[in-house]
Structure formats: structure tokens, C-alpha cells
């Protein structure tokens, strides 16, 4: 959530930055400022009445101490009249604050100055590329044919058990999932990240804290009987570990990694882009999250991008890094880098990671703070990234490394998988 102070200081600049994100409801900025002015006037009235009540109450105490009950009773009537006058103001103030907050949470985060203008993924900037695209053997096929050939993922039985988009991994497919997960976690913990295994369901306060609510209700699976949401990523529960806390400065940066299943409704997805493992409703992912001093967040973002890039290099996959344009960014992000891996049989790039700096947008919602040198509480910055999402990594590993009678695996996975290939 944007800070009111940011909007007050330069509303025109806020509108210009929101326009870079293709946010259309710019009049919300003016509505918020108007509500803020109303709130401040009512707060002043409320404070004035409260001050009169406090002063009169103090006089009552002094009069009672002197035994002047008559004068004290007069003052009590005066206090009662002040309280009666205060009540409608307090009620209106509470209503105004609620409406103000409801408007504030509709504004997305402001983009960094590094964010390129643009409306669609075609406007994203390629920052750099790495790895070599493979030359596939004759007769090479996409991963949805390979998983049938080696009997490692069963979509039909998954659909019978649950529904479309819920794959059932089996045999070497299940083992590959486990090998990749363990490798990713080991890679992250060796870089100083503390491992967590979070709940797969969260309450609405948690979903609100990271920006999933009220922006993405339709993307999450919801259980109304309990008012819980299935997590779309472990970023949601992990970042909320520090909600409503003041973090000691000496404990920064906080580096966390987590493996979890992820659940996304992906409403409206259809066509060739959802074939096989390209887009599913349940998938496994390893996440990295950092909570850092505000002066360090962009340095940390570069560090996290380099970390994910190194991980992809160890998997020997061709990749490219994109800086997302304003129109392709998430609601909460200030700057995002996407990683895409080349799927050789499909001849297309598939997103496998997003690494984002949210600045203080999430921490303002969650009230994650630290005490600065001046002793005042200030908001920290939060960042997160996929490290990595498994389905499309698996798709690319299968397609790019296929041979006539086996699928070779990168050397870093041999000890985790127990052999060098799938056969």
C-alpha cells in the first residue's frame, strides 16, 4: 500500500508513475487526498473535544478534592455534553478512515525509474541472455509427448482425481521433482537463506499483506467455511512471518527460502500455451524472500537476480532476463526481472522466475519496521523471487536434453536423482 505521505507530497508525480503501469483510475488519487483532508479536519475537531473533556475531568478531580460537589456536578454535565458532541464526530472519523483505506489499497505500487514504458510483454526489455540453445535430434518432440513416452506425469489420472491442470507425477517424474526441490533448497541455504516449510493456507490478513487481496481474489482458491486461501506462492506466508514486528537493525538482511506447492486458478487460460506443464493449477516452487534496509533494496535485487542466474547456469539451460515494462508488472512490484528458459521443442521462451523489489509497498501493509539511528520506526523493504518454479524447468529439461532412448540430466542433478538420465 502506498504511503499517504508519498501521495500528499507530489500527487501529480504519483499520477504520472501510475500511468506508466497503465493504471486507469487516476481520479482515485484526488479522491484519496480529499478524504485525507476530511479526516484531518475531523481529527482536529475530535482532538479539541477530547482536550476539553480531559481538562474538565481534571477540574472535576480538583473540585471533588476540595469538597465542592456542586461545582463538580456542573462540570460533569459539561463533560457529558462534550462526549455527546464528540460521538458523531468520532463515528464519522472512523467511517472516513475506513473509506480512505479502502481507496488506498486500490492503488498499485509506483514503478521504479528503471521501469520501461510499455503496455504488453512485447515491450519488455531483454537485459541479457545466457547458455546455448540445443540442437535437437531428428524426431524430437515436446515434453507432453516425452512424459507419456517415459510414463513420468499422468494428466489423465490427475484430472480424474481432482480436475484439469492437476498433474500426477509418478516414478522418475516424482523423483525428478524431489531432486530439483532438494537441489534448489541446498543452493539457496548455501547462499545464506534460512529454510522454511510454511502453511499452504493463509487467512485474509496474510493475503492482504503481500498484495494478493484485494487485487487477486479471482486467482486464488478460496475456502469460505474457514475464510482461508490456498497459497499462490510461498512468498505470501513467508513474508508475513514478520508482520506487525519491529526488526532489530542488526538482524538485517533477513533471507528466507521455502518450498511449497502453489495453487492458482489461472482463470481464462486456454490454447496451446497451457499444454502439458506450461500452465497448471497446482505446481511446486522454491522461493527466496528478503527483508532489508530501505537503502539496500536495489543492491539486494541485483544480488537476487545474480543468484537465480547462477542457478539456471548450473542447470545448463539457455535463458534470458527481461526487465518488465510498466504494463506487464504485478500490482505490488516496483521493479521486476523475469527469467525465461528456451523450450527447444516448442521453440518458445517460458517464464520460470520473477524477481521483484516491492520497496515498502508490502511492508506498509504488514507494518514490518525497524528503528533508525534517530530512534524512529521506519518501514523496511521486501523482495522475492522464484528459485525456481518447477513445471517449466522440467518441461525444458526434458525437451532440451532428449535423446532417442533417454533424457540426459545436468551434472548437478546426478547425485540428487541417483543417476545421469531418465530412461
Q: Where are the domains of the chain?
A: 4-104, 121-422
State the Cα–Cα distance between residues 64 and 80, nearest whole angstrom.
Answer: 17
pLDDT at position 329: 96
Cell 545436468, located at residue: 410
Mean pLDDT of the chain: 95
Mean pLDDT in residue range 210-227: 90
Q: Which fold has domain 4-104?
A: Helix Hairpins (1.10.287)
**Is the per-residue pLDDT at 268 higher than 60?**
no
- The beta strand positions in 293-347, using DSSP E, are 319-323, 335-343
State the Cα–Cα distance between residues 201 and 227, nearest whole angstrom.
Answer: 10
DSSP β-ladder status, 201-203 and 228-230: antiparallel
Mean pLDDT in residue range 196-211: 97
**Is the per-residue pLDDT at 78 higher than 70?**
yes
Q: What percent of the chain has pLDDT over 90?
A: 94
Q: Which CATH architecture has domain 121-422?
A: 2-Layer Sandwich (3.30)
Cell 469460505, located at residue: 224
State the Cα–Cα distance between residues 348 and 344, nearest whole angstrom.
Answer: 7
State the Cα–Cα distance between residues 391 and 400, nearest whole angstrom.
Answer: 14
Report the predicted TM-score, pTM, of the whole model to 2 decimal places: 0.93
Measure CA 230 to chain center.
14
State the Cα–Cα distance between residues 124 and 297, nearest whole angstrom.
Answer: 22
Amino acid at each position: 500500500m502506498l504511503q499517504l505521505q508519498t501521495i500528499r507530497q507530489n500527487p501529480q508525480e504519483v499520477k504520472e508513475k501510475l500511468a506508466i503501469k497503465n493504471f486507469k483510475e487516476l481520479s482515485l488519487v484526488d479522491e484519496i487526498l480529499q478524504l485525507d483532508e476530511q479526516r484531518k479536519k475531523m481529527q482536529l475537531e475530535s482532538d479539541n473535544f477530547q482536550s476539553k473533556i480531559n481538562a474538565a475531568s481534571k477540574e472535576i478531580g480538583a473540585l471533588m478534592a476540595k469538597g465542592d460537589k456542586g461545582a463538580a456536578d456542573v462540570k460533569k454535565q459539561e463533560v457529558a455534553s462534550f462526549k455527546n458532541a464528540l460521538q458523531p464526530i468520532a463515528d464519522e472519523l472512523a467511517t472516513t478512515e475506513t473509506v480512505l483505506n479502502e481507496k488506498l489499497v486500490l492503488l498499485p505500487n509506483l514503478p521504479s525509474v528503471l521501469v520501461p514504458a510499455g503496455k504488453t510483454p512485447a515491450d519488455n526489455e531483454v537485459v541479457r541472455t545466457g547458455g546455448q540453445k540445443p540442437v535437437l535430434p531428428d524426431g524430437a518432440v515436446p515434453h507432453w509427448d516425452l512424459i507419456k513416452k517415459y510414463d513420468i506425469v499422468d494428466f489423465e489420472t490427475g484430472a480424474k482425481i481432482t480436475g484439469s491442470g492437476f498433474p500426477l507425477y509418478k516414478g522418475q517424474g516424482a523423483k525428478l521433482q524431489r531432486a530439483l526441490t532438494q537441489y534448489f533448497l541446498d543452493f539457496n541455504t548455501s547462499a545464506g537463506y534460512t529454510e522454511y516449510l510454511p502453511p499452504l493456507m493463509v487467512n485474509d490478513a496474510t493475503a492482504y499483506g503481500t498484495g494478493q487481496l484485494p487485487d487477486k481474489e479471482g486467482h486464488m482458491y478460496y475456502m469460505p467455511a474457514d475464510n482461508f486461501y490456498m497459497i499462490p506462492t510461498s512468498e505470501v506466508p513467508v513474508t508475513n512471518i514478520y508482520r506487525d514486528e519491529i526488526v532489530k537493525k542488526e538482524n538485517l538482511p533477513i533471507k528466507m527460502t521455502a518450498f511449497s506447492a502453489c495453487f492458482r486458478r489461472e482463470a481464462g487460460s486456454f490454447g496451446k500455451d497451457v499444454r502439458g506443464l506450461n500452465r497448471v493449477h497446482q505446481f511446486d516452487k522454491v522461493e527466496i524472500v528478503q527483508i532489508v534496509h530501505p537503502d539496500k533494496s536495489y543492491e539486494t535485487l541485483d544480488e537476487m537476480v545474480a543468484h537465480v542466474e547462477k542457478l539456471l547456469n548450473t542447470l545448463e539451460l539457455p535463458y534470458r532476463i527481461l526487465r518488465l515494462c510498466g504494463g506487464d508488472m504485478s500490482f505490488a512490484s516496483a521493479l521486476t526481472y523475469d527469467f525465461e528458459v528456451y523450450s527447444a521443442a516448442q521453440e518458445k521462451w517460458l517464464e520460470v522466475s520473477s524477481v521483484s523489489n516491492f520497496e515498502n509497498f508490502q511492508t506498509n501493509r504488514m507494518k514490518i519496521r525497524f528503528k533508525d539511528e534517530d530512534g524512529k520506526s521506519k518501514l523496511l523493504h521486501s523482495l522475492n523471487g522464484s528459485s525456481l518454479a518447477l513445471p517449466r524447468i522440467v518441461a525444458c529439461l526434458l525437451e532440451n536434453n532428449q535423446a532417442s532412448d533417454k533424457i540426459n540430466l545436468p551434472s548437478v542433478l546426478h547425485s540428487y536423482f541417483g543417476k545421469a538420465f531418465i530412461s
